[in-house]
Amino acid sequence: MPRKSTISQLLLSFLMIAISGCVPTNSATSLPASPTAVALPVSTETAVATATIAIPPTAAPSPTASPTEVPAPKQIALTFTKDAFCRKGPGVQYFDKGSFNQGATAQAQGRNDAEPRWWYMLMSNGDHCWVSDTTVKPDANAQALPIQKPEKSLPETPTDVYADRVCKAGGFAVTLNWTPSDTADGYYVYLNGEQIQDITRGTQKSYVIKLPKNQSMNYGLEAYNTVGTGEAITLEDPGCP
């Protein structure tokens, strides 16, 4: 009996060893290993974001407001500081048409467009004439008066004046020659600065000057019309040899 019990114990021990060889020593259930993470390739190119910038439409320029025009005065009262001729145009070459006394006041209704300044004046009879700025008290407001043109221009004196001289024993004669001026009504002839003849025809083209003796002198010719005179043309003459 004791021997049989021993054999049984040995057999039981063998079976237990066999069974333990088939079962893992760690009785806990093994979990599958975590998968290895794979690094994805990263592009070396830098991504550039294209930004769309909205450009506001160009605003139309605002219309420039025109400056408010100050209306020119219709007339300015001017006071005379001296007696003055009132002429047919803005200059001393125009004939006088009337006059104003020192201390008088008259209405200026216009001005010339050059220097020296002349004023277009209203006369007591309703007509107009021109006075020099040097004859009236200064008035800055008068500079805004409208520009006035003369009613008629001065004539043009012929510029081609020449002299034919005839020498004689007792003296000599000179004939002045020129081309008639279309704007002249006549001509003044001068000898040594003094008027010696008034030729009343604008179409005349020569004039003879007789002199008693041979000496140096000068001759002058000046065209005129109803409003005044043109520039004088002067010739110098040394006399006969």
For residues 125 and 188, membership in a common domain is answered with: no
Whole-number pLDDT of residue 127 = 96
What is the model's pLDDT at position 150?
Answer: 94
Count of the separate structural domains present in the chain: 2
Domain boundary (144, 175, 197) is at 144
Q: Give the pLDDT of residue 14.
A: 55
Is residue 177 within 8 Å of 162, Cβ to Cβ?
yes
* Residue-averaged pLDDT of the chain: 81
Q: What is the pLDDT of residue 173?
A: 87
* Domain containing residue 185: 162-237
Phi, psi of 218 (to 5 degrees): -135, 155
CA–CA dist 165, 195 (Å, integer): 20
156 found inside a domain? no
pLDDT number for residue 46: 41
- The mean per-residue pLDDT over the stretch 67-73 comes to 70
Residue 83 belongs to a domain with what CATH number? 2.30.30.40
Q: What is the pLDDT of residues 152-181, one digit of tens each?
A: 999 999 999 999 988 877 678 899 999 999
Q: What is the mean pLDDT of residues 213-236?
A: 93
**Each residue's pLDDT tens digit, 115-156:** 999 999 999 999 999 999 999 999 999 999 999 999 999 999
- The answer to whether residues 167 and 198 belong to one domain is yes
Rounded to whole angstroms, the Cα distance separating 220 from 193 reads 7
Residue 59 counted as domain residue: no
Whether residues 134 and 181 fall in one domain: no
Say if 4 falls within a structural domain: no
Per residue in 27-61, pLDDT (tens digit) is: 434 444 444 444 444 444 444 444 444 555 655 55
pTM over 0.95: no
Domain boundary among 144, 176, 202: 144
CATH of the domain at 196: 2.60.40.10
